[in-house]
Amino acid sequence: MRILDVGCGHDKLPGAIGIDRSANTAADVVHDLDRRPWPLADAEFDHIRCQDVIEHLDDIVGVMEELHRVARPGATIHIRVPHFSSVQAYTDPTHRHFFSTESMGYFTEDSRYPHYTDARFAVRRVRLRLWKPYRWLGLDWLANRFPARYEKMFAFLFPAECLEFDLEVRPRIQPSASAAEAVR
């Protein structure tokens, strides 16, 4: 199984190919992740980890397209990002984006916004990770059981530490014949 660790830093997954913008890391490939295409072959990886990295990048849609390009069909992608309620989201001045439990819905087959990209993923798991005191009280379980209600009503009372997504790479959306004819 081929594994890619995007933005690996010093915590690269054992056996993975690491890509990071800094040569002062465990990266096997040193590359600015905001510059696409990444110097990786198409459909090369079975699993990709993006842990605490995509919030630093300029273009989330472009990153998702690049992840789709380098992943094999059916590959899994694990993404960890700061939740919008987390103090960590705002502490790091290099963070450019914050996320909600619905953020990856823009890239699914039934997206309400299919015009952003044709790269598609199935969301297999979304997990809010609350701070330890809230987990000890069982609020982590409640937030994950009712994520929309948590985000709308309770996120800033009981803030999350981070958010994790597990995705599966799906085929790109093919334009319909009528849409292709309309372009001509």
pLDDT digits (tens, 9 = 90+) for 129-172: 999 999 999 999 999 999 999 999 999 999 999 999 999 999 98
Question: pTM score > 0.85 for this model?
Answer: yes
Q: Where are the domains of the chain?
A: 3-183
DSSP 150: I
pLDDT higher than threshold 70 for residue 90: yes
Mean pLDDT of the 6-16 span: 97
Q: Are 139 and 131 in contact (CB under 8 A)?
A: no
Q: What Rg, from alpha-carbon coordinates, does the chain have? A: 17
Q: Are 116 and 61 in contact (CB under 8 A)?
A: yes
pLDDT higher than threshold 80 for residue 174: no
Q: Quick one: which of 7, 28, 155 has its CA closest to 95?
A: 7
pLDDT higher than threshold 90 for residue 14: yes
pLDDT digits (tens, 9 = 90+) for 36-86: 999 999 999 999 999 999 999 999 999 999 999 999 999 999 999 999 999
Task: Return d(Cα 175, Cα 146) in angstroms, integer.
Answer: 35
CATH number at 3-183: 3.40.50.150
Task: Return d(Cα 66, Cα 50) in angstroms, integer.
Answer: 12
